[in-house]
Amino acid sequence: MESRAILRNVRVSPQKARLVADLVRGRDVDDAIEVLTFTQKKSAPLIRKLVESAVANAENSARSAGNQIDIDDLFIQTITVDEGPTLKRWRPRAMGRATRIRKRTSHITVVLGAR
C-alpha cells in the first residue's frame, strides 16, 4: 500500500531542503519523525508535518477501503524535492546599478510504503 503527500511552493531553496530530505530517505516513519524533530534546519518542521500528513492519508485510505494498516510498518519509500517558481527581486548596488535577488521555492513530495 502506498500513500503520498505533496507540499508545493514552499519558501525554502531546493538545495537546502534536499539536505534534510536525505536524512530521512528510506527510514521508518517513527525514526524519520524523531530525526526531523531534533534537526535544526528551516525545512525540518515542514518535512515532518508532511510525513505526518502522509501517515494520515495512509490511515484514511485504508479505512475507506475497509482494511487495517499498522503505522509501525510504514517507511519513507521516496522523498523528492523539486524546484518551484522563483520570485525575482531587485537590490540596489553601487553606482546606480541593480542586482537580481532570486528567492527560490520548492515542491516536496513524500511517498510512504508498507514493509
Residues 84-93 pLDDT 10s:
999 999 999 9
For residue 1, the model assigns a pLDDT of 75
Euclidean distance between CA atoms 95 and 72, whole angstroms: 61
| Pair 86, 102: CB distance under 8 Å | yes
Euclidean distance between CA atoms 87 and 27, whole angstroms: 33
The pTM of the full predicted model, rounded to 2 decimals, is 0.91
pLDDT > 90: what percent of the chain?
A: 89
Task: Write down how long the chain is.
Answer: 115
Does residue 70 come out as left (phi exceeding 0), alpha (psi in the -120 to 50 range) or beta?
beta
Structural domains in the chain, CATH included, are 2-114 (3.90.470.10)
Residues 25-57 pLDDT 10s:
999 999 999 999 999 999 999 999 999 999 999
Does residue 28 come out as left (phi exceeding 0), alpha (psi in the -120 to 50 range) or beta?
beta
